[in-house]
Amino acid sequence: MTTIPLPTSGPVRDTLEARPDSDNYLTHTRGVLSWVFTLDHKRIGVMYMWAVLASFLLGGIFALLLRTELLTPGPTITDDANVYNKWFTLHGAIMVFLVIIPSIPAALGNVILPIMLGAKDVAFPKLNLFSFYLWMSGAVLCVLSLAMGGFDTGWTFYTPYSTTTDTGGVIPVLTAVFLLGFSSIFTGLNFVVTVHKLRPPGMTWFRMPLFLWALYATAIIQVLATPVLGITLLLLIVERTINIGIFNPSMGGDPVLYQHFFWFYSHPAVYIMILPAMGIISEIIAINSHRSIFGYRFIAFSSIAIAMFSFIVWGHHMFTSGQSALMNTLFSAISFSVAIPSAVKVFNWVATLYKGSVSLTTPMWYALAFIFLFTIGGLTGLHLATLSTDVHLHDTYFVVAHFHYVMMGSALIAMIGGLHHWWPKMFGRMYHEKLGTVACWIIFIGFNVTFFTQFMLGSQGMPRRYYDYQPEFQVYHVISTIGSYIMAFGFTLTAVSLFGSLFGGPKAPANPWGGRSLEWQCASPPPFDNFAKTPRAGDCYDFSAVHWDEKTGGYWVDESADAAKDGSHA
């Protein structure tokens, strides 16, 4: 490895002078054990990333199986409805609990958050590692449950079906999700404390990068909502094992109460998925437009607003479930309130492009795709928050399409975008830009083909979780399935461009995009302790101090501008 020649006014803050680039968090210590027992947030984040991507592959395979089965009415590749039921249950459970929820906070967040804060690590490194192993044991148990007969409850585990079905994998998977929940809690707890206590000098709350705001809001939800999921699953387990009967109608229990319990967590969970995604998009758009984000405070506040609203709208999952008309009305009314901060964010992003200097890098393409898809996902939310239309659309493919637009089209697309955005930082290698962009387009097209069709499918009356369907629906299903194949191809290309870069991809400069926040002022890949001495944070959206540097093929930040600014601020 060659060391980067260091210019006097370096493109990179102290760290590179401090030690050679050959000494980074990846190379600092060697051997498997140095990873297994590492307390370094970056390594833990990277391990999360690989684990999550592996789960994503698994969940994706099940998705393709589902779509293929639905090519024709009746049996296509399996003639056993139970098999199909297990497939969609697994697809849902894996994608929700193993992929989307940990993807951004646990994987990207762990790597980036402390560096963005100019901190050496998260507040509780050991807890961080512990929560990673909680996650792993959850994942393993989840896979184990397949060996024990799988489970066909749907990822929502509705009683009494989940307590009466005779598939053997139910209790293992409940335990697995329980563990995953606590893993998520500890990550969130860690982040809240880190953001509160480890901010560097100069970084006031309203000078935090919006990604931090998003992760902070997410962490609050993780801490406050997830325990309820824990206790709910625990009750479900004792329900199944020792018949405690609190959710069991035949013992005086009440299955609708279970739904209240479940959605009290699982609706906020939707925002655990989307909020950090929004944070990533704010970063990518601001940086690639090389201008200050439009209406910083509105975006920051809307994150918190969404987090708070998310706790009082869960009932809109239960409009037809036998929930009383009064509560339906109440929940419907409140649900609309979430639309407002979401709309504000979208408007602000678009406005950030205005009079900016937009460079269409791969992450930027993902960000634009996100705005497109999230707008669709968000707007179709109106159909489902509206009482009378929801009665018709609930539990049909319309809902399926809606939440795929939000969870996959938004959360996951943003995750992939963020992966491209920070990939050079994480591994010090540049991926193949062209390939990345093409892959992004293919995914985008495939996604819309797959899921837009499902809006028609649903509003035409096709119920979800159906193994078999009326022939009249086939045309939609075929199109949808073709789309899913296109998407699969797109993701394969992405994998090629990203993982390929690890083998002899061009070396990444410290600051390839012209970022202004602290992670871009530290080497790529960062040294094991990020910053030799805690840096001073400037205005992370003031790109006037960012300059292109031919020598490194990246940008560098002129801190003197900061100093002046801070002076004026003080």
Partner 1 sequence: MAHHSHAEGEVHPEVGHVVPVRYLVGAGLALIVLTAITVASHSVDMGEANLPVALAIAMVKATIVALIFMHLRWDRPFNLLVLVASALFVLLMLAFAGMDVHQYEPTIFNGNPTQVEQTLQANAPGAPVAQVKSTNGGGT
Partner 2 sequence: MTQIAHDHKAPAHGHDHGHSHAHGSHGHDAHGHHDPNLAHHFDSLAQQFDSAKLGIWLFLATEVLFFGGLFVAYAILRMRFPEVFSYASHYLDTIMGGINTCVLIISSLTMALAVRYAQTDNRKGLITCLVLTFLGAVGFLVIKYFEYSHKFHDNLVWGPKFYVPPHSAEGDLEAAVLKTAPAAPGTAITVENPAPWQVPDLAKKPAVDASAVKAASQGPSGVARANGTPAPAPAAEPAPDAKDQAHPGTHLEDASMPPNTHLFFAIYYAMTGLHGIHVVAGMGILAWLTWRAVRGDFSSKNFTAVDTGGLYWHIVDLIWIFLFPLFYLIH
Partner 3 sequence: MLTMLQTLPNAASQAIAAAAAAQSGATAPSARTFWMPPGASTIAPGVDLTLEVINWICYFFFAIIVALMVYFVAKYRHRRGERFRTEFPHHNTPLEIGWSVLPTLIVIGIFVVGFRSYLDIYTAPKNAFDIKVTAQKWGWTFQYPNGAQSDDLYVPAGKPVRLVLRSSDVLHSLYIPDFRVKRDVVPGRYTYMWFQCDHPTGLPAAEVRDPNAKTVAGPLDASQRHALFCTEYCGTGHSKMNRYVYVLDETTFGEWMTKQAQWIDEIPEEELYFKAGPKLFQRCVQCHSLDGVNGIGPSWKGIVERVKGYPMVGEGKKYATYQDYIRTSILAPGDYVVPPYANAMPTFKGQLNDKAIDALIGYMEHLDDFDPKTGKYLKAPAAK
What is the binding site for partner 1 (CB under 8 A)?
Answer: 196, 224, 228, 254, 256-257, 260-261, 264, 311-312, 314-315, 322-327, 330-331
Going residue by residue from 341 to 360, which x/- string records binding to partner 3, judged by CB under 8 A? --xx-xxx-xx-xxxxxxxx
Query: Strand 554-557 to strand 546-549: parallel, antiparallel, or no bridges (unpaired)?
Result: antiparallel
- Measured in whole angstroms, the distance separating CA 63 from the mean position of its chain's CA atoms is 18
What count of other Cβ atoms lies within 10 Å of the Cβ of residue 493?
A: 18
Nearby residues of 324 by Cβ (< 8 Å), 6 or more positions away = none
Q: Should residue 569 be labelled a site residue for partner 2 when binding is judged by CB under 8 A?
A: no
In the block, tokens 């990207």 appear at 108
Rounded CA separation 499/426 (Å):
12
Instruction: Give yes or no for a contact between 222 and 188, defined as CB atoms under 8 angstroms apart.
Output: yes
Q: Does 28 bind partner 2 (CB under 8 A)?
A: yes
Q: Which of 24, 232, 332, 454 binds partner 2 (CB under 8 A)?
A: 232
Residues 90-129 that bind partner 2 (CB under 8 A): 114, 119-127
Q: In terms of CB distance, is 277 or 368 closer to partner 3? A: 368
Q: Looking only at residues 469 through 528 of this chain, which bind partner 3 when binding is defined by CB under 8 A?
A: 469-473, 475-476, 479
Closest listed residue to residue 284, CA positions, set 404, 409, 416:
416
Helix (H/G/I), strand (E/B), else coil: 552: coil
DSSP for 154-176, written as a single string: TTTT-TTHHHH---TTHHHHHHH
- Sketch the per residue contact string, 229 through 248, with partner 3: x for CB under 8 A, - otherwise: --------------------
Answer for which of 171, 304, 379, 479 binds partner 2 (CB under 8 A) is: 171
- 72, 137, 254, 559: which one binds partner 2 (CB under 8 A): 254
Q: Which residues contact 466 (CB under 8 A, 6 or more apart)?
A: none
What is the dihedral sign for C-alpha 23, 29, 30, 35? negative
> Does residue 568 belong to the site contacting partner 3 (CB under 8 A)?
no
Least CB distance to partner 1 at residue 224 (A): 6
Residue 430, helix vs strand vs coil:
coil
CB proximity list for 2: less than 8 A, separation 6 or greater: none
Residues 140-169 interacting with partner 3 (rule: CB under 8 A) = 152, 154, 158, 160-161, 164-165
Choose the one of partner 2, partner 3, partner 1, none that binds residue 392, judging by a C-beta under 5 to 8 angstroms depending on kind: partner 3
d(CA 456, CA 478): 13
Cβ nearer to partner 3, comparing 109 with 341: 341
Cα–Cα distance, 274 to 268 (Å, whole number): 10
Position 419, amino acid = L
Question: Bridge-partner residues for 548, per DSSP?
Answer: 555
Binding piece for partner 2, criterion CB under 8 A, among 84-92, 165-173, 210-218, 342-350? 165-173
Closest to partner 2 by CB, 224 or 445: 224
Task: Determine the longest span between alpha carbons in the chain, in angstroms.
Answer: 77
* Dist. CA 330–CA 104, nearest whole Å: 32
Which one of partner 2, partner 3, partner 1, none interacts with residue 29, CB within 5 to 8 A by kind? partner 2
Binder of partner 2 out of 32, 166, 297, 388 (CB under 8 A): 166
Name residue 546's beta-bridge partners. 557
Q: Output the smallest distance, CB 569 to partner 1, in A.
A: 23
Nearer to partner 2, 10 or 514 (CB): 10
Selection from partner 3, partner 2, partner 1, none that 536 binds (CB < 5 to 8 A by kind) is none
Q: Is 375 helix (H, G, I), strand (E, B) or coil?
A: helix
**C-beta of 21 vs 69, nearer to partner 3:** 69
Q: How far apart are CA 390 and CA 12, in angstroms?
A: 54
Under the binding rule (CB under 8 A), the answer on residue 73 touching partner 3 is yes
State the Cα–Cα distance between residues 47 and 41, nearest whole angstrom: 10
Give the integer Cα–Cα distance in Å for 126 and 114: 15
Interface positions, 497-536, toward partner 2 (CB under 8 A):
528-529, 532-534
203 sits in the region (left: phi over 0; alpha: psi -120 to 50; else beta) called: beta
3-state secondary structure (DSSP) of residue 57: helix
Element of type H or E holding 447: helix 433-459
Q: What is the DSSP letter of 396?
A: B
Tell whether residue 209 is a contact of partner 3 (CB under 8 A): no
Residues facing 96 on adjacent strands: none
CB of 362 vs partner 3, minimal distance in Å: 14
Residue 28 interacting entry, from partner 2, partner 1, partner 3, none, C-beta within 5 to 8 Å by type:
partner 2
Site string for partner 3, 298-337 (x = CB under 8 A): x---------------------xxx--x--xx--xx--xx
The binding track of 543-562 with respect to partner 3, each residue x by CB under 8 A or -, is xx-x-x--------------
Residue 121 binds: one of partner 2, partner 3, partner 1, none (C-beta under 5 to 8 A by kind):
partner 2
Residues between 41 and 60 that touch partner 3 (CB under 8 A) = none
- Residues from 257 through 286 that contact partner 2 (CB under 8 A): 257, 261
Q: Is 104 left (phi over 0), alpha (psi -120 to 50) or beta?
A: alpha
Which of partner 2, partner 3, partner 1, none does 38 bind, CB closer than 5 to 8 A by kind?
partner 2
Footprint (CB under 8 A) of partner 2, residues 202-231: 223-228, 230-231
The smaller minimum CB distance to partner 1, of residues 324 and 544, is found at: 324
Tell whether residue 383 is a contact of partner 2 (CB under 8 A): no
76 makes contact with partner 3 (CB under 8 A): no
